[in-house]
Amino acid sequence: MAFFEDRDWDTVSEGASMQPLEFGPITMTTQVMDASGTRDLYPIHHDREFAKANGARDIFLNTMWYQGLLGRFVNEWGGPESFIRKLSFDMRATNCPGDLLTVRGTVTKKYEQEGQKLVDLDVRIDNQLGPDTVTARITLELV
State which amino acid sits at residue 30: T
Supply the minimum distance, in Å, between the C-beta of residue 6 and other proteins. 9
Choose among 131, 93, 98, 134: nearest CA to 26: 98
For position 99 contacting other proteins by CB under 8 A, the verdict is no
Q: What is the dihedral of CA 17, 100, 85, 6, to 10 degrees?
A: -60
Supply the minimum distance, in Å, between the C-beta of residue 62 and other proteins. 10
For position 96 contacting other proteins by CB under 8 A, the verdict is no
For position 87 contacting other proteins by CB under 8 A, the verdict is yes
Helix (H, G, I), strand (E, B) or coil at 142: strand
Q: Which is nearer to other proteins, 73 or 107 (CB)?
A: 73
CA 75 – CA 71 distance, rounded (Å): 6
CA 15 – CA 68 distance, rounded (Å): 24
For position 34 contacting other proteins by CB under 8 A, the verdict is yes
For position 72 contacting other proteins by CB under 8 A, the verdict is yes
For position 63 contacting other proteins by CB under 8 A, the verdict is yes
Q: Which of 70, 96, 118, 125 binds other proteins (CB under 8 A)?
A: 70
